[in-house]
Amino acid sequence: MNLELRHLKVVCAIAETGSVTKAASLLGLAQPALTAQLQRIERTLGGPLFERDRRGARPTALGELVLSRARVLLPAMKGLQDEAARLAGAGSDNAMSRYRIGSIGGPVIGGMVHRLSVAQPEAQITTHASYYVDDLATMVLAGKLDYAQVGVCGDAIPSADYGLVWQTIAVDGVCVLMQEDHPQAKGVEVDLAELAEEQWAGGPGGGCFGDCFAAACARAGFTPRRILETDIRGCVDMAESGVALALCQPTFRPPAGLVHLPIKGAPLRWRQVLGWHPDSPAAQVAPRLMTMARDAYLEASARNPGYLAWLEDHPHLGAEQLTAA
């Protein structure tokens, strides 16, 4: 693993709060996820960075060395981002000549790019894909991207540590992708408790979704098998072969032979958000991009009439309540 700025932010957060648990809360991560990340950083650097006991976390000699460098590098990167934002420039309050959009994936990014291409056929539009919110946020902070369109678990919002503005596009109930002849695929939703013996598949990511899924299963009375982590195509292949059920968004378009149904009670939710730096030219155009993002989401949701009907009984989800607020 190569050491990156986001890793230095983790080390600084732990040192400043004196606790891995408090640092996880500050960074918007689950504590086990931050602990695992710290362990990877320590393996990369060749030794422990903190002494941890009941009194908290205190830097070791190696930790102090890393902190001294991080406290120089992080402000320098922020200054670089500010200068890059000023140089990038914007065409007007309603348009830019160049749009660089990072995304974790899904139908929203495709709909946004289509709408931008129609509205500004002369604009240069580039995209960048990553499974990790922190990677995209770091690129926005560094001036390498103008926007990050990502998804996060439940009621979470991406970490404020990057200084970005995040606005919600929509909040969805997570769905289960399964064969259309699966015994639990007969209704409008699935009961998680009835799937206790199933194998599961899902995409990679650096957030707390895995922990939240395990907690939802615990509330349903069982401990799930370890999620088979793979890309979208792998999830579809496993669902098609019957090897596993996959967790997916309701806007996903399943191939023939598969269906995706929301989980009863919506114990798992997925929040689609768009982020940008408040001091960049992208901030001036952000309201326009948000409108395009929500229109793209609504268009994608309309392809799943069963989910739209399910949303009528779950008015706190979807995008309509956000646009009406």
Question: Rounded distance, CA 213 to CA 207, Å?
Answer: 12
pLDDT at 33 over 70: yes
Q: Within this chain, do residues 141 and 276 fall inside the same structural domain, yes or no? A: yes
Last residue of a domain, one of 222, 242, 267: 267
**93 falls in which pLDDT band (50, 70, 90)?**
low
Q: How confident is the model at residue 94 (pLDDT cuts 50, 70, 90)?
A: low
Among candidate residues 172, 175, 139, the one with its CA nearest the CA of residue 277: 139
Could you tell me the residue range of the domain that residue 293 belongs to? 92-172+270-324
Mean pLDDT (the chain) is: 88
Q: Residue 82: its pLDDT value, please?
A: 65
The secondary structure of residue 189, as a DSSP letter, is S
Residues 277 and 132 in one domain: yes
Chain centroid to Cα 270, Å, comes to: 9
| Percent of all residues in the chain with a pLDDT value above 90, rounded to a whole number | 58
Q: Residues 122-147: what's their mean pLDDT?
A: 92
**Predicted pLDDT of residue 90:** 47
Tell me the per-residue pLDDT of 158-208, one tens digit each, with 9 for 90 and over: 777 788 999 999 999 999 999 999 999 988 999 999 999 999 998 877 667
Of 227, 249, 267, the domain-final residue: 267
Task: Give percent above pLDDT 70 in the chain.
Answer: 94
Write the CATH number for 24.
1.10.10.10
| Pairing label, strands 245-248, 175-179 | antiparallel
Q: State whether 276 and 160 are in the same domain.
A: yes
Residue 41 contacts residue 49 (beta carbons within 8 Å): yes
Give me the pLDDT at residue 8, please.
92
Domain end (from 85, 110, 138): 85
Q: Are residues 122 and 180 in the same domain?
A: no
Q: Are 156 and 187 within one domain? A: no
Residues 154 and 280 in one domain: yes
198 and 71 within one domain: no
Does the global pTM surpass 0.75?
no
Are the C-beta atoms of residues 168 and 323 closer than 8 Å to each other? Answer: no
Give the pLDDT of residue 286.
94
Q: How confident is the model at residue 240 (pLDDT cuts 50, 70, 90)?
A: very high
Tell me, yes or no, whether 46 and 102 share the same domain.
Answer: no
Domains contained in the chain, number = 3
Same domain, 320 and 286: yes
Place of tokens 């929509």: 170
Amino acid 297: pLDDT: 92
pLDDT band at 89 (very low <50, low <70, confident <90, very high): very low
pLDDT of 9-28, one tens digit each? 999 999 999 999 999 888 88
- Per-residue confidence (pLDDT) for residue 323, from 0 to 100: 45
> Looking at residue 147, which CATH number applies to its domain?
3.40.190.10
Does 254 have pLDDT greater than 50? yes
The per-residue pLDDT for 208 is 74
Q: Is 105 in the same domain as 243?
A: no
23 and 75 fall within a common domain: yes
11 & 81 share domain? yes
The DSSP H or E segment spanning 202 is strand 200-202
| Confidence category of residue 325, pLDDT binned at 50, 70, 90 | very low
Q: Which parts of 97-200 fold into alpha helices (H)?
A: 107-119, 133-141
- Which pLDDT score is estimated for 180? 93
Structure confidence at residue 324 (pLDDT): 40
